[in-house]
Amino acid sequence: MAARDRDIETAGDVCAFFARQVRRHEEDEEKSLFPRLEGLEANAALHAVLERLSREHREHEALQARLEDAVAGRFDGDLWSELATIADLLTRAYRAHIEEEETHLFPAARELLTSDALEAMSAEMAARRGR
């Protein structure tokens, strides 16, 4: 297999990772975690964080679709330049997003959610995975 084909295959593996793991993570947040935090009498700053993270999820989806299009050959132009641009955008987007989660979202969840809520979320996430 030529190096170019291996590189495209690797990029395809990255697409599959995003489609499976990252989308699942974001779905878990939006269907299980965010609604529970929104339902609490939390402060306005936390609600702003939830809105921002949800908006970023849509931006991530658009970047993932752009990557999928490039890997599938649905792109006019220099493929390697496009892949480099997308990789940079994804890296920046996820770095900022993860920092927001680690700094604000997850500490708030640990502080505000009961053990019953955490158990229910765990069960919902397992059900989404067919477990």
Q: Dump pLDDT digits (tens) for 34-91.
A: 999 988 866 788 999 999 999 999 999 999 999 999 988 898 889 889 999 999 999 9
State the pLDDT at residue 91.
Answer: 93
pTM of the model: 0.85
- What CATH number belongs to 3-128? 1.20.120
State the pLDDT at residue 65.
Answer: 94
State how far the Cα of 49 lies from the Cα of 82, in Å rounded to an integer.
30
Distances in whole angstroms, Cα of residue 8 to Cα of each of 55, 72, 85, 89, 112: 29, 9, 15, 18, 44
The overall average pLDDT reported for the chain is 91
Note the pLDDT tens digit of each residue in 106-124. 999 999 999 999 999 999 9
Distances in whole angstroms, Cα of residue 128 to Cα of each of 21, 30, 73, 131: 12, 13, 31, 8
State the pLDDT at residue 42.
Answer: 65
More confident position, 17 or 62? 62
* Type of residue numbered 1: M
Residues 6+ apart with CB under 8 A from 42: 108, 112
Note the pLDDT tens digit of each residue in 75-91. 888 988 999 999 999 99
How many CB atoms within 10 Å of residue 53? 19
State the pLDDT at residue 69.
Answer: 93
Per-domain residue ranges for the chain? 3-128
65, two tokens: 């679709």
State the pLDDT at residue 36.
Answer: 93
